[in-house]
Amino acid sequence: MSSAEQVLKQYFGYDSFREGQEELIGSILKGQDTLGIMPTGAGKSMCFQVPALIMEGITLVISPLISLMKDQVEGLNQAGVHAAYLNSSLTAGQYQKALGLAKQGRYKIIYVAPERLLTDGFLNFAVEADVSMLTVDEAHCISQWGQDFRPSYLKIAEFIEKLPKRPVISAFTATATKEVRDDIIDLLLLRSPTVATTGFDRPNLYFAVQAPKDKYASMKNFLQLHPGQSGIVYCLTRKYVEEVYGRLKDEGFSVTKYHAGLADGERKANQEDFIYGRMDIMVATNAFGMGIDKSDVRFVVHYNMPKNMESYYQEAGRAGRDGEAAECILMYAGQDVVTNQFFIDNNRENQELDEAARRLAAERDRERLRKMTFYCFTNECLRDYILRYFGEYGNSYCGNCANCLSHFETVDVTETAKAVLGCVLSSRQRFGTTMIMDTLHGASTAKIRKYRMEENPYYGKLAKIPVYKLRKVMNYMQMQGYLHVTDDGYAIVKLTEKSEAVFSGKEQIVMKMAKEEEHPAKVKKERRRKGIAAGYADYEFTETQEAMFEKLRALRTEIAKEEKVPPYIVFSDKTLMHMCISKPATKDEMLKVSGVGEFKYEKYGARFLACVQE
């Protein structure tokens, strides 16, 4: 076991790293500047917390949000790591005290707000301290291209220069666009950094779009199917929040609300009610969520369509951070487009820009809104749409979205495939995809005439199949290895050794294809439910296990109260589920459960063991 794996297990109780984590941690431990781009929930914190515990000296973590710092520090303390935060939520006295302890070397990891970096008090400490790493969390805040620009982030480079010894710099963000990435590297003055991007796919999230006549009724129905589960309902405006919240409350749902129009005190109290599990449902505007690391959110319903895919994926991505199945439902109505359009036309955020730049920004926003709207109308795989939007190539069928579960059918495309292969063969494997498709389709282009493809025996043979379908079949054949497209810059379509079996009728080609006629509104509820199971493979809980899970949850709540932390900080749902499945009987067995580290075991492992045994 590497020391990184040991730390992962000992402190956090996890057996293995997730995609990207090892590479990023390895890079940091080599002393290399590192930039990690990972979607929300992928596990960025582990990428700097693990090396922080291995390296000598202190790690400073710069983070924009007080709630985020508090949450992470609580989590670390629960895992037995000495950590603290320095931000404006502390009184002057508390701040001095924490700084004093930091000077004595009490903390391994210190979270600090960017505004503090260049203050005398903090600088005095930092130049004396042995800072081995500086981590910039939510690093996109440094970029004016990003959504949450924070001028104070621009001071980070200046701060680093004031340190007697330059620490390793690591930066993390979930925003992947090139402008933002370049800004991070340039403005933090990263030195030939390792840049690792992990896939944006979140396979445990189920996606669906609905366009119900009565949104409220539809949502209520959904909520009734998810009793006792934690979820967020996002609305576009405060007015919607108030309305939806009021109706749900009147109907007896366990619900709270959040928007910028509430007084600070109420907002904070409501947020905590939700995080600590005292309330199940949070109805909120997009003001809610940044930095909320509640891992057991089981659904995110968008009561309105948000302004762009970036916002949508970020908000929806707050579901299922524990890796368990979770649902993301978007409720569309034409009015949402109008409202968003209004926001764009009346955007006052770009006032410092000149007229031309402002117009450009508005045009860009409108384009983003269009793409968001397309998402609501596509019959294709929703996940694929999302991934393509973010520049990744997904599969055209994921099997865990409403479209895949209801708009797709299994089609035998062998005859089509045979014609494709025949056309490629008879034209002596000299042409690219477009030429083959045009020939099969019977097009009359200059190129077709030039190469006299009208005389090809397959000319016009597939005239009845729409081009886009033909393209799909060819893509699929390529993916499955029945066709090969050369990558020498000419993209010539060639046969493979698998082609023959199809051509001679020994092999059938069957694929999933989108049905055409259906509209999102027709998505069957019952089918939607099926997708949920996917996160946990094929495992089905027995009744006994369900009962055990409820008991473990109750115990967790009790302990959470004693420790004054949110329940998921004690153990995640996933950890409890693992206990139900593996039924640990001894300390060793308990330590094998994902999420049970030694420190936590010492603290309350025995109580969970006893509970499982019962």
Complex with Zn ion: residue 183 or 327, whichever CB lies closer: 327
* Site for ligand ADP contains 567 (CB under 6 A): no
Q: Which stretch binds ligand ADP (CB under 6 A): 41-49, 140-148, 193-201, 325-333?
A: 41-49
* Site for Zn ion contains 330 (CB under 5 A): no
Complex with ligand ADP: residue 324 or 438, whichever CB lies closer: 324
Q: Figure out which of the listed residues 61, 404, 548, 612 binds Zn ion, where binding follows CB under 5 A.
A: 404
- Partner that binds at residue 175, options Zn ion, ligand ADP, none, CB closer than 5 to 8 Å by kind: none
Tell me 200's DSSP state. Answer: -
Q: Rounded to whole angstroms, how far apart are CA atoms 315 and 39? A: 11
* Site for ligand ADP contains 535 (CB under 6 A): no
Instruction: Tell the smallest beta-carbon distance from residue 37 to Zn ion (Å).
Output: 24
Return the closest-CA partner of residue 344 out of 365, 360, 368: 365
Q: Which stretch binds Zn ion (CB under 5 A): 160-168, 249-257, 404-412, 495-503?
A: 404-412
* Site for ligand ADP contains 234 (CB under 6 A): no
* Site for ligand ADP contains 270 (CB under 6 A): no
Q: Rounded to whole angstroms, how far apart are CA atoms 458 and 509? A: 19
Complex with ligand ADP: residue 42 or 156, whichever CB lies closer: 42
* Site for ligand ADP contains 340 (CB under 6 A): no
Complex with Zn ion: residue 404 or 493, whichever CB lies closer: 404
Where do runs of H (alpha helix) occur along 188-237?
Answer: 215-224
Is 110:132 a contact under the CB 8 Å cutoff? no
* Site for ligand ADP contains 38 (CB under 6 A): yes
Instruction: Tell the smallest beta-carbon distance from residue 483 to Zn ion (Å).
Output: 24
* Site for ligand ADP contains 295 (CB under 6 A): yes
- Partner that binds at residue 110, options ligand ADP, Zn ion, none, CB closer than 5 to 8 Å by kind: none
Q: Which stretch binds ligand ADP (CB under 6 A): 39-47, 257-265, 297-305, 512-520?
A: 39-47
* Site for ligand ADP contains 43 (CB under 6 A): yes
Instruction: Tell the smallest beta-carbon distance from residue 2 to ligand ADP (Å).
Output: 13
Q: Figure out which of the listed residues 281, 398, 413, 470 binds Zn ion, where binding follows CB under 5 A.
A: 398
* Site for ligand ADP contains 40 (CB under 6 A): yes
Instruction: Tell the smallest beta-carbon distance from residue 36 to ligand ADP (Å).
Output: 9
Return the closest-CA partner of residue 48 out of 20, 78, 24: 24
Cα distances (angstroms) measured from residue 344 to each of 61, 316, 339, 429, 567: 35, 22, 9, 51, 40
Complex with ligand ADP: residue 174 or 477, whichever CB lies closer: 174
Q: How far is CA 435 from the centre of its chain?
A: 39
Q: What are phi and psi of 327, to 5 degrees?
A: -115, 140
* Site for Zn ion contains 513 (CB under 5 A): no
Count CA atoms within 13 Å of residue 449 on its CB side. 3
Instruction: Tell the smallest beta-carbon distance from residue 106 to ligand ADP (Å).
Output: 24
Return the closest-CA partner of residue 423 out of 378, 396, 454: 454
Return the closest-CA partner of residue 68 out of 113, 100, 38: 113
Instruction: Tell the smallest beta-carbon distance from residue 274 to ligand ADP (Å).
Output: 17
Return the closest-CA partner of residue 375 out of 400, 350, 401: 401
Burial of 541 (0-12, 13-18, 19+ CB in 10 A): middle
Q: Figure out which of the listed residues 27, 256, 572, 575 binds ligand ADP, where binding follows CB under 6 A.
A: 572
- Partner that binds at residue 308, options Zn ion, ligand ADP, none, CB closer than 5 to 8 Å by kind: none
HEC letters along 404-451: HHHCEEEEECHHHHHHHHHHHHHCCCCCEHHHHHHHHHCCCCHHHHHC
- Partner that binds at residue 418, options Zn ion, ligand ADP, none, CB closer than 5 to 8 Å by kind: none
- Partner that binds at residue 44, options Zn ion, ligand ADP, none, CB closer than 5 to 8 Å by kind: ligand ADP
**Per-position DSSP letters for 280-349, written without gaps between them:** SEEEE-TTS-TT---TT--EEEESS--SSHHHHHHHHTTTTTTSS-EEEEEE--HHHHHHHHHHHHT--T
Q: Which are the contacts of 562, defined by CB distance < 8 A and separation ≥ 6?
A: none
Return the closest-CA partner of residue 313 out of 296, 332, 300, 297: 300
- Partner that binds at residue 398, options ligand ADP, Zn ion, none, CB closer than 5 to 8 Å by kind: Zn ion
* Site for ligand ADP contains 46 (CB under 6 A): yes
* Site for ligand ADP contains 41 (CB under 6 A): yes
Contact track, ligand ADP, 320-339, x by CB under 6 A:
-xx-----------------
Query: Count residues contacting Zn ion (CB under 5 A)?
Result: 5
Instruction: Tell the smallest beta-carbon distance from residue 327 to ligand ADP (Å).
Output: 18
Q: Figure out which of the listed residues 4, 79, 381, 555 binds Zn ion, where binding follows CB under 5 A.
A: 381
Cross-strand bridge partners of residue 282? 232, 256
- Partner that binds at residue 51, options Zn ion, ligand ADP, none, CB closer than 5 to 8 Å by kind: none
Q: Rounded to whole angstroms, how far apart are CA atoms 344 and 322? A: 35
* N residues, the chain: 614
Angle, in degrees to the nearest 10, between helices 433-441 and 467-479:
130
Contact set with Zn ion (CB under 5 A)? 381, 383, 398, 401, 404
Contact set with ligand ADP (CB under 6 A)? 14, 17-18, 21, 38, 40-46, 293, 295, 321-322, 572
